Structure 1
Amino acid sequence: MNETRQQILFLNLTTPDLKSPVIAWSLYDGAAPADALQMNTGDASVPPYASVLHAMRDGWNVLQVPVLPHYPAGQEHDTGHLPYEYVLERKVAIA
């Protein structure tokens, strides 16, 4: 009997469009050994997927889409968190 574990993938995009480029990411792999390092932005120069749509085509399920940010007048160019974060998950078999 194959046991499954969950993987969670966070993808930050340049715009809210599911096809827009990934600019930051993190992967938390519940199927990896307990002492394995998890993947974060900066661990690789290329994101694991070019977009959310590419990840969906590889079997990832979208769990959360971003709430579009509201910028009050005069604060349109303030910096802060990355506003277009998608949370994806999938189940993978473990040995």
Structure 2
Amino acid sequence: MRQQVLYLWADGSSLDSTAIGWAFHDGADGAGPLLPEPAQPGAAPYRSGVDALRDGWMLLQSAQLIAPAPDQEHLNAYLDYEFVFERRVEVEVPATEWV
């Protein structure tokens, strides 16, 4: 088994909020299922976290809801609403990799 990890950053704290950023890490080196083609070039592969769940991804971590400090509400920082998903895929490993 190999693990694929998908990070989705959303515009809100709910899993059905619109995805605005993403990252994909493929421990299966392309031997597992690929991400769906986005509707527009450069867009996230899923419109929301719920769409990722419907495609078989399992939620590992949900966004932490942390209120901004007073007078810090409009400062730019990292993307707040991060959701981490994983799926495990069965891959054929050539015997030479075990040596």
TM-score by length of 2: 0.77
CA displacement, residues 54-81 of structure 1 (integer Å, 9 cap, x when unaligned)? 0001110000011112212211111101
The one-letter code matched in structure 1 to 2:58 is N
Out of 47, 50, 54, the position equivalent to 2:51 is 54
Out of 51, 63, 71, the position equivalent to 1:66 is 63
Q: Please give the root-mean-square deviation of Cα atoms over the aligned residues, in Å.
A: 1.2
Larger Rg: 2
Percentage of identical aligned residues = 40
Listed as ranges, the gaps of 5+ residues in structure 2 are 31-40, 93-99
The one-letter code matched in structure 1 to 2:13 is P
Listed as ranges, the gaps of 5+ residues in structure 1 are 34-43
Alpha-carbon separation, structure 2, partners of 1:72 and 1:7: 35
- In structure 2, the residue corresponding to 1:53 is in which secondary structure? helix
TM-score by length of 1: 0.80
**Does 1:16 pair with 2:31?**
no
Alpha-carbon separation, structure 2, partners of 1:65 and 1:7: 17
CA displacement, residues 17-63 of structure 1 (integer Å, 9 cap, x when unaligned)? 11111111000001116xxxxxxxxxx51211110000001110000
Q: Paired residue for 1:92?
A: 89
